[in-house]
Structure 1
């Protein structure tokens, strides 16, 4: 009886050792190849590739950079230079592009809070943006997007020609924009009026609620094409070199995505795509189907 008990204990101990070794072997295999479960993405770039989609926030009220083709619907309705750039970046990452339309300041907030990883919306470099976001290398849409001007009524062309003429006058600019910064710095005696949407700003100008609207020259030309009662003011803002081109906003700390985006920008530049995209966007912006979408 005692001998049988010893044999039984020996067999039980041997079985436990076999099971323990098998478990260790499985753990080692899982550690070596990740088991059957895919690894969890740890940064924005990995999440984009895992989902197969690049979500980009932008404000489609800024022709020819981003606007709406009313003859199309869904994602296809969003067009312009920045859309072409966003599509190119998505292709370079091997994913599909998803445009997230929202207001200009909401686009920046969405990136800051990581609601979306990226915004491409005609942004200029500013020190504040450099502190709060990962900013891409510069991309260059052309001189008309570098120059910053004031739109006024054609009937006021002789009335407003220099800085002093705007003293005490209401002048509009988009919230959190380079134009608002230039306005407050270079026309300090004007009353800066925050405009959430450029289409609304144009309506405010035409209605006489503001005397001028600060915009990029390329945008001004597209607006005038649709509104011949408006003109570009003789006064023009002085633009520092660091503000002359555009940058892409990405969530702070997402350096892997930043590196991938900069590589795509370099490839687009070397391929001479910027001029082609801009010319096509200008032509489309002059068509009867071109609309600037107003968003809250």
Structure 2
């Protein structure tokens, strides 16, 4: 009886050891597979005060949403990455790329020669015009009416350069602020007389606030438009360009434009 019991125990021990060996092998295989399927996370920064490009709809939550966010996620999906979005002041975006704190920037950014010295850009994905907005009861309808006035712009934006260009034709004072919402508040409080904002963004504010009015400055034919910014010599630039061109060709980019701007590019 004892011999039989020992024999049965031996069989059980051998079986358990075999089972453990199989489990270990399977576990290693599973871990290896999951690692190979993981997507690399790219850190993206934006200035989330620029609807409909990027903003936070506080009535719906705390997530950053908008055209640039949808575009970034679509491009990341095509290139096999995931996007992690963070909010920064606009004038901090390029320094963050230079310091390698982030991988990409989508924030309605124009690739000017000065910026191209410090970062790389994708192909253009959207082109818009500038708009000068003012209070309706003190409406400014032409560049000539800016004579002697104070005009506000977002710090580090292409509109800051536009204001400098206008100041060569008209005697005016330029004030800059970190956020578009700051410009609107300064305008309504009377600390500035007008502000230069991209037309799509400006129209959004005008639709929500009946005290505001504006007129559009027609952009020159060689106006660059908006592009994605990368670290200098980034390997992601070519990958995202290929995906962006695919979206242009198959109509996906046009669909995003229609979704966020209500019209075609």
**TM-score where L is the length of structure 1:** 0.71
Q: Distance in 2 between matches of 1:132 and 1:112?
A: 7
| Per-residue deviation, residues 119-163 of structure 1 (Å, max 9, x unmatched) | 0000112111121110111112xxxx5111101011122xx2332
Any idea what SS the aligned residue of 1:184 has?
A: helix
Larger RCO: 1 or 2 (CA < 8 Å, sep 6+): 1
Give the alignment of 1:35-46 within 5 angstroms: none
Q: Is the 8 A contact 1:66 1:121 kept in 2?
A: yes
Q: Is the 8 A contact 1:146 1:216 kept in 2?
A: yes
Match of 1:132 in 2: 118
Q: Is the 8 A contact 1:79 1:281 kept in 2?
A: no
Structure 2: gaps of 5 or more residues: 1-36
1:88 aligns with 2:74: yes
Match of 1:241 in 2: 221
Query: What RMSD, in angstroms, separates the aligned Cα atoms of the two structures?
Result: 1.9
Q: Is the 8 A contact 1:146 1:244 kept in 2?
A: no
Task: After the TM superposition, list the runs of 4 or more consecutive aligned residues in structure 1 that deviate by more than 3 angstroms.
Answer: 71-74
Paired residues in the alignment total 224
**TM-score where L is the length of structure 2:** 0.79
Q: Distance in 2 between matches of 1:274 and 1:115?
A: 28
Q: Distance in 2 between matches of 1:94 and 1:174?
A: 34
Any idea what SS the aligned residue of 2:123 has?
A: coil
Answer with 184-193 or 52-61: which moved more: 184-193
Structure 1: gaps of 5 or more residues: 1-48, 284-296
1:53 aligns with 2:32: no
**Cα 1:65–1:212, aligned 2, differ >3 Å: closer, same or farther?**
same
Any idea what SS the aligned residue of 1:146 has?
A: coil
Match of 1:211 in 2: 193
